[in-house]
């Protein structure tokens, strides 16, 4: 016999949350009823629900089914192992840029990942571009951090911060050349 229930009048042994089975169900019943009224239904057969929600990545399946991410990952590993799903495509994750497999229902060979990491491509391109720039070009690039439209609008409003950061707006001539 385990620890006694946290309720003094109970002689049952502890099952969950320091309560015996009877008191745990009394605690759980209002929570389950609130979920039912809110329309949150926990599926009985997670495996079939996940297979029906494919194609998609883990995150997409979580959004479609309402299951937690860990549960979806666990079931997808089993479903792929049983040959009921396969990797049909790859994409970059929105925030991190990592490679995310897109699962498809049914048997089939896994598609190999042919994506190129964002970091290596952009860093290499930027390093090559920066090596060819003169110091003046780098300064111009920093100035153009805000679009010309925003700078012109701020200058018309008399935005002192824009003038302090980018210098006063130079008047242009009719031919399009700027005066020094």
Residues 19-56: pLDDT tens digits? 777 777 787 788 778 777 777 665 567 888 899 999 99
pLDDT, mean of each 10-residue run, the chain (180 residues)? 65 68 79 75 75 92 86 91 93 80 94 80 69 78 64 66 68 53
Q: Map tokens 């991190």 to a residue.
A: 96
Q: Are residues 93 and 132 in the same domain?
A: no
Is 160 inside a domain boundary? yes
Is 84 inside a domain boundary? yes
Return the structure tokens found at 37.
């009224």
- Asked whether the whole model's pTM tops 0.85, one would answer no
Q: Are residues 6 and 50 in the same domain?
A: no
Round to whole Å and give the CA distance between 52 and 61: 9
Q: Is 164 helix (H, G, I), strand (E, B) or coil?
A: helix
Q: Are residues 10 and 54 in the same domain?
A: no
The domain containing residue 12 runs over which residues? 1-41
Round to whole Å and give the CA distance between 19 and 147: 63
Q: Are residues 51 and 100 in the same domain?
A: yes
């Amino acid at each position: 016999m385990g620890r006694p229930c946290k309720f003094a009048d109970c002689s049952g042994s502890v099952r969950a949350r320091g309560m015996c089975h009877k008191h745990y169900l009394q605690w759980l019943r209002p929570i389950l009823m609130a979920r039912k009224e809110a329309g949150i239904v926990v599926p009985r057969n997670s495996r079939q629900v996940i297979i029906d929600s494919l194609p998609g990545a883990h995150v997409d399946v979580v959004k479609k089914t309402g299951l937690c991410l860990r549960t979806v990952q666990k079931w997808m590993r089993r479903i792929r192992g049983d040959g009921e799903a396969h990797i049909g495509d790859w994409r970059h994750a929105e925030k991190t840029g990592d490679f995310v497999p897109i699962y498809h229902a049914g048997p089939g060979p896994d598609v190999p990942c042919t994506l190129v990491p964002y970091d290596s491509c952009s860093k290499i391109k930027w390093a090559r571009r920066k090596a060819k720039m003169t110091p003046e070009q780098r300064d111009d690039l920093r100035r153009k951090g805000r679009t010309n439209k925003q700078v012109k609008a701020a200058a018309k409003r008399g935005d002192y911060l824009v003038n302090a950061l980018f210098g006063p707006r130079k008047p242009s001539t009719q031919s399009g050349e700027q005066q020094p």
